[in-house]
Structure 1
């Protein structure tokens, strides 16, 4: 990607100057992945899940998207109204900004695995309840174990706290590389938050560069 084609995406991220870097290589077909039948069973289990009360109000579950050999994994909080309708994560305005974040890293959705902590939409887009996180987190853990990415980017407080089993605030979790089951985790802002607070896009870009550095060093 040359600087001219990347400029619109970096502008969306709030970055005014960009230095060209080589794209990050992604895992190929020889990388770790789950057995096809095991992955299919996991999808079926999520699709029919009634572990918490959220199943009663959903249009459909939102399993996640991306290759099971992905180097990068991005984890969000929960589906919104549009995600619930379409069955895919990050498809609204927050998804457009996530696409910009990926483009700034010389990545696209076909190269990364994207999922949420919750697979069903909370009513009114309210915060997830602890019982809902406890019911749904095993699915995310199984997904990450199957994909075995080289880096996980936790988007927002709920994703970070759920993955890292901590109640520390987002501000204290950012700026460091954490560990989840031997996989490095970098914490940054959720794209929906960045839409409300665009001034923090520069800080988010610093987080993404930290994640890119982790991948490059492996």
Structure 2
């Protein structure tokens, strides 16, 4: 069913059957054909791009509450969501022998100008992860009260835990208690610092996989 709408200056808008009345920027109304879905099969490259975008949306969707707060440099984009999607499409979701993979070493959980985490050592047992880092404040954008946050992510199950603001920079060591769901899983580990007010973050540091 179509409907004609005539406004106060005599312009008509709406759609009837296969045609649409469209008002242009100059104020004139023109007729256009309704767009119809293409029946042309998509190419292999188009399908791969769709699959890549779907994997990016799935993975970033899991962690987006973290990204939304911790991306304080938008990487030239207008907001955190656009920054995350652009970066993950370009850097993190990769094609390897025609299969898609997540490059965990490229994952960024935060961005900003705070001095990054500099690892010294990390180790785990079934119930704990123990971290040691350089607690120096001699470099720019490094303050004693900067706060450590840590993401532990289990790729096999997609379970994760985010330890937000769990230690200060000068503490130089911290022990994380693992939840039961992560106690037997291989873990991808990411760390970052924020200011004491949590208004700016560092580019996160990837510590590798802990088995």
Larger Rg: 2
| TM-score of the two chains, using structure 1 as the length reference | 0.24
| TM-score of the two chains, using structure 2 as the length reference | 0.25
- The structure where helix makes up a greater share of residues is 1
